[in-house]
Amino acid sequence: MGYINVSKDPEKSLKNGYLSTTLLGLGQTISVFAKQLFKLEESVTIQWPEVEYKYSERFKGAHFLTKRPDGQVRCTACFLCATNCPAQCINIVAGQSSDNGIEKYPVRFEIDILRCVFCGFCEEACPVDAIRLGPEYSMAGLPEQKWVYTKDYLLNRSEIKKQVGAKQVSKKEENTKDASVMSSLPNIHKSSGSGH
Ligand code: SF4
Ligand code: SF4
């Protein structure tokens, strides 16, 4: 079995390790500080909140619920998102839909955002593209703020939907219009259409 010989000689350690590396690090810090102070080098620190960082389009931030073309909630209260949620922070109460083709709808749909770990499993599990994680990453707030996102809030997040824009259209609907995507799907998916 291999082993590493660690010197316990404090004098040797001081000379070869602690002191030299500490001074080296200190020198590096002072040099960067001076360069940025005198504007010789661009700072890499973002001046939040005046300057916002631009994350990738694939960034998974706070959730929103999508709507069907008729303006109704797309969610069919199947509980797949809640079942797959590792933080168990999705709470759904299902009701009977008046639309026979849909069967169920969420009477209540809540996400306890403080428990959420933003894993995206809910988005992945949803068979009808009803729940998405949007680009919002700034969620700081005060304790008295409401941290349980309700169905109405998730459905009508104008600021997020503005950012998402045209992407609000269901990916599944887009795919069903795309012949190349449809031709690559097994028959079982082709026959199910958009699910509505
Ligand atoms: S992102 Fe993950 S933790 Fe958050 S609600 Fe969805 S499944 Fe749960
Ligand atoms: S959001 Fe999607 S996965 Fe969750 S209950 Fe609604 S339809 Fe099912």
Question: Residue 118: which CATH number?
Answer: 3.30.70.3270
Domain that holds residue 150: 63-165
Find where tokens 């600021």 sit.
159
What is the count of structural domains for the chain?
1
Query: For ligand 1, atom 7, which residue shows the shortest CA distance?
Result: 85
Return the pLDDT at 74.
93
Distance CA 72, CA 149 (A): 18
| 116 annotated as belonging to a binding site for a ligand | yes
Mean pLDDT of 187-191: 43
What is the C-alpha to C-alpha distance for residues 189 and 99, in angstroms, rounded to an integer? 22
Q: What angle do CA 48, 50, 53 make, to 5 degrees?
A: 55
Domain membership of residue 90 (yes or no) is yes
In angstroms, how far is CA 174 from the centroid of its own chain?
A: 22
Instruction: Please give the Cα distance from 171 to 176 (Å, whole number).
Output: 9
Helix (H) or strand (E) holding 148: strand 148-149
Position 71 in a domain? yes
The answer as to whether 69 is a domain residue is: yes
Mean pLDDT for the stretch of residues 5-16:
64
Q: Would you state the pLDDT for residue 16?
A: 65
Q: Strand 90-96: give its sheet, edge to edge.
A: 90-96, 104-112, 148-149
Give the mean pLDDT of the chain.
Answer: 81
3-class DSSP state of 176? helix
CA-nearest residue for atom 8, ligand 2, is 78
- Quote the pLDDT of residue 188: 42
152 by DSSP, 3-state: which? helix
CB atoms closer than 10 angstroms to residue 77: 23
Mean pLDDT score, 113-141: 91
pLDDT exceeds 90 at position 17: no
pLDDT digits (tens, 9 = 90+) for 46-92: 888 888 888 888 888 999 999 988 889 999 999 999 999 999 999 99
What does the pLDDT read at residue 78? Answer: 96
In a domain, 39, yes or no: no
User: Do 146 and 113 form a contact (C-beta atoms < 8 A)?
Assistant: no
Pick from 74, 78, 111, 149 the residue to mutate for probing ligand 2's pocket: most ligand atoms within 8 Å of its CB. 78
pLDDT band at 160 (very low <50, low <70, confident <90, very high): low
Q: What integer pLDDT is reported at residue 149 of this predicted model?
A: 94
Residue 66 and residue 121 in contact, taking contact as beta carbons nearer than 8 Å: no
- 194 in Cβ contact with 172 (< 8 Å): yes
Q: Residue 128 domain-assigned? A: yes
Asked if the structure places residue 142 within a domain, the reply is: yes
Residue 136 lies in a domain: yes
Question: Quick one: tokens of 43?
Answer: 């700072």
Residue closest by Cα to atom 6 of ligand 2: 75
- Would residue 126 count as lying in a domain? yes
Q: Is 89 annotated as a binding residue?
A: no
Judged against a pLDDT cut of 80, whether residue 164 lies above it is answered with no
Pick 4 or 188 by higher pLDDT: 4
Atom of ligand 1 lying closest to residue 119 CA: 2
Q: Residue 98 and residue 28: Cα distance in Å, rounded?
A: 68
For a pocket test of ligand 2, which of 68, 128, 155 has the largest count of ligand atoms closer than 8 A to its C-beta?
A: 128
Phi, psi of 65 (to 5 degrees): -105, 140
State how far the alpha carbon of 139 is from the alpha carbons of 37, 101, 147, 149, 157, in Å: 31, 37, 10, 12, 14
